[in-house]
Amino acid sequence: MRNVTVGMGLVLALATTPAVAAVDDRSDARQQVEFGIQVAQRGLWREAEYRWQRAVELDPSYAAAWNNLAIAHEHSGDFAGAREAYERALEIDPSNTLIQQNFDLFREINERTSR
């Protein structure tokens, strides 16, 4: 079930548009996110994480990129990094239900496994 949620988060997160950024940076960040999704779908999570990290460096206001980065951190076992990235995504776009659902699921799973 967790893999289904991760995959769903990746696909839907791309639909979120970045906030204010320079046009070139926004375009470059979007390209990084799209490429990250493609490689994650092939199981290349390190590359995906790199691409999403690059996207948030190019456009720190891109909530979808932060969400995807959180998913990558979660996948690699970096739960502190995942929490920080989810929180940053929600700071940028607090009304984004997809990000909120991903973060809620992340917290629920971590609470169960840390008992």
Assign residue 22 the CATH number of its domain: 1.25.40.10
Q: Which of 113, 108, 109, 55 is nearest to 85 (CA)?
A: 55
Tell me the pLDDT band of 113, cut-offs 50, 70 and 90: confident
How many Å apart are CA 41 and CA 18, to the nearest integer? 22
Whether residue 19 is predicted with pLDDT greater than 90 in this model: the reply is: no
User: How confident is the model over 45-49, as a mean pLDDT?
Assistant: 97
The total domain count for the chain is 1
How many Å apart are CA 71 and CA 19, to the nearest integer? 20
User: Which segments of 59-96 does DSSP mark as H helices, in order?
Assistant: 63-76, 79-92
How many Å apart are CA 30 and CA 26, to the nearest integer? 6
User: How confident is the model over 11-39, as a mean pLDDT?
Assistant: 73
How many Å apart are CA 89 and CA 63, to the nearest integer? 4
Domain that holds residue 53: 2-113
User: How confident is the model over 86-93, as a mean pLDDT?
Assistant: 98
Model confidence pTM above 0.75: yes
